Amino acid sequence: MGARSRSGRQRSGTVGSWCGFFGLLLSPPMSDAGRALDRWDTDRAMRTRAWTAAGVASMSQVLYMVDATLIALALPVIARRFDEVSRSTVGWAATSFLVAQASLLLVGGRLGDRHGRKRVFLAGMTLFTFGVALTAAAPTVWMLIASRALQGAGAAFITSGALALAFPMFPAAKSAVLIGAWGMVGSIAAWTTPPIGALVVERDWRLAFALVVPIGVLAIVLGRRVLVEQAPASQSGRSDRWSFLIGPPALGLTMVVLADGGRWGWTSPRTIAVGAIAIAGVAFLLRRSVVASDPLLDLSLLRIRLYAANLAGGALQQAGFFAWFLTAPLVMSELWGWSIRQIGLALAVSQVLSTIASPLGGQIVIRWGSNAAIGLGTSVNIVAMIWATTTMSATSDFWGSYLPMALLFGFGSGMAGTVTTGAALAALPVALLGTGNSIIQLVRRMGGALGVAAGFALLGNAAGPALLTGARRAWILVAVIHAAIFVALAATRSRAASRRLEPIPSGSAP
């Protein structure tokens, strides 16, 4: 029986988890699904190879979470190590990674389509591993920032097609199991990396990054052996070379202005000059996206209202999340005097309820639509930031102040972040899921980079009680950013569309 008939039976029954929602969403139609499932059940070697490939591909999630956690924990220590430069400059150790990744995500996706996803994945893993080795050995802050950018470039090639490498190796009936395992890997990484990372960073921040290198090497070795190269997608014509030449630097320069414009001064000659170049580059990219037959950026997807609204909502959610995630450790370290180990445990606590929020969000989507789930998660995050702004003081109070805020923010972020991505993908035709996901990852990374830059700009170089004042401004901004998600959701009013469990069939009008 075909995949669509099975997904119809699951839709009419009780859908028990968000994993099932994604499995139904992404299951490719297979006319011989029954035979594939029979072979899966009887062929142990097939199952072993598929799960090994999924494990290798899921290392992209682990590495991304480990990297984000380590840089959040290590920034206060790095700032003290390189005390000859400002905190805003040290903050670029985080921002440069996000900017490089966001700039090259679309390129990585298109290169994977053209030349093979396995090849691009392994190239990205090699870049990332080499970059993290340089990060561990960086003698200056500028070398550190450059090596972090190299890591971001590698991460762009890794994340653009990681799941697509494992997905074809599973029969359609097992796609929900794969997606569930994929999400579980992310949850486990979110739980375990803060406390473990804190223990290592507390000893030596360079050692923490050096320990990531063997993970990357292992992924490369296993990837070469177990990942299966899929035939590149057939293309009707050549990719637009001008999109590839102008797009990445234009996006990168845009993020540079957004990140450093406040420090430079928004009306300074430097900001105006770089901003003008960035605007011209983005305008050119958009123009090529309209007139070229095979552009880097497919703007036609934005005509799908549900996709566009959740695309914007996901970018805002990431901006708010990273504005908190990378500023809160500075308050814990410099104002409250917490050790790196205590900060790691505190960040781990913030992820406790995120594992509950994702399956609960799936239930809400099925019953009341994606807007209801996103609205609930967003509202909880706003309450968390109001709580943080009004209760946190120069004296730490873990139980009465931090813990309620962390649990609320973890719950809201887990729900809103997951559902915005799922709702956007659910709005797409099957044939455009890969391209659409690349754009989703691009704008989410750009949103995260902007959130980091905005948070550090509001903190400035303050110390002591003034640091808390800057942090409160950053947390108020996080609340405002989350409130803006409701504006994005107002663009959608179709409950039926937001509850869709299958992509729009290929060829359907948006």
413-470 per-position pLDDT tens digit = 888 887 887 778 777 775 566 677 788 888 887 788 788 778 877 887 777 778 888 8
Highest mean pLDDT: which range of 24-28, 310-314, 325-329: 310-314
What is the distance between the alpha carbons of residues 169 and 156, in angstroms, rounded to a whole number?
23
> Domains in the chain, ordered, with CATH?
18-26+44-229 (1.20.1250.20), 241-297 (no CATH), 300-501 (1.20.1250.20)
Single out the residue of 371, 436, 427, 422 nearest to residue 19, CA to CA.
422
The H or E element spanning position 349 is helix 340-349
Residue pointed to by tokens 């410099």: 334
pLDDT at 95: 78
Q: What is the pLDDT of residues 337-379, one digit of tens each?
A: 888 778 878 878 887 777 777 767 777 877 788 889 899 999 9
Residue pointed to by tokens 């929900």: 176
More confidently predicted of 344 and 2: 344
More confidently predicted of 464 and 485: 485
Give residue 43's pLDDT band: very low, low, confident or very high (50, 70, 90): confident
Highest mean pLDDT: which range of 4-13, 111-120, 301-310: 301-310
pLDDT at 178: 62
Highest mean pLDDT: which range of 169-173, 188-192, 379-383, 486-490: 379-383
* Under 8 Å between Cβ of 406 and 346: yes
Q: What is the pTM of this model?
A: 0.75
Q: What DSSP designation does 180 have?
A: H
* Under 8 Å between Cβ of 4 and 29: yes
* Under 8 Å between Cβ of 305 and 491: yes
- The three-state secondary structure class of 429 is strand
Q: Which two tokens stand for residue 149?
A: 């950018």
Q: What is the mean pLDDT of residues 198-224?
A: 90
Give residue 117's pLDDT band: very low, low, confident or very high (50, 70, 90): confident
CA angle at residue 100 from 70 to 204, to 5 degrees? 20
Give residue 29's pLDDT band: very low, low, confident or very high (50, 70, 90): very low
- The three-state secondary structure class of 488 is helix
pLDDT at 197: 86
Give residue 2's pLDDT band: very low, low, confident or very high (50, 70, 90): very low
* Under 8 Å between Cβ of 121 and 65: no
Q: What is the pLDDT of residues 264-298, one digit of tens each?
A: 777 889 889 999 999 999 999 999 998 888 888 88
What is the average pLDDT value for the chain, to the nearest integer? 79
